[in-house]
Amino acid sequence: MTLIISYSIICFLLTIILIIIGQILPSNNPDIQKVSPYECGFDPINSSRLPFSFRFFLIALLFLLFDLEIAILLPLPLSTSLISINNSSYTLILFLLILTIGLIYEWINGGLDWANN
């Protein structure tokens, strides 16, 4: 019990010290010259930022989510040897059902259409 209390006190003190240091250190106040793009002394011709496709971002996010969920599904065959097969199969069916409902929802709302802008 005293170990938990001592860890809590250390975490609290460390948090307070970091907040105080963050307030004491000088803030970064950039001016116009520092934030403007540099092109050998000339004014920039085009924007320094390229346009970003929000549709691509959504597709990439969906890929990461489903890829992570597949990584969660990989240890399930091993879990059948540790616990009963019925409990493991119920968990697998429920998890796949939730994944399927999410995929159908994205499909209906057009989240997987590449042609639409």
Give which of 77, 107, 109 is closest to 92, Cα–Cα. Answer: 77
Structure tokens at 34: 């520092």
pLDDT band at 13 (very low <50, low <70, confident <90, very high): very high
Output the pTM of the full model: 0.45
- Report how far residue 91's alpha carbon sits from residue 107's, in angstroms, rounded to the nearest whole number: 24
Digit-coded pLDDT (tens) for 52-82: 777 777 778 888 887 888 887 777 777 666 6
Residues in the chain: 117
Does the structure show a pLDDT above 80 at 117?
A: no
Structure tokens at 102: 């999410």
User: Quick check: helix, strand or coil at residue 106?
Assistant: helix
Digit-coded pLDDT (tens) for 24-58: 887 777 777 777 666 566 665 666 666 777 777 77
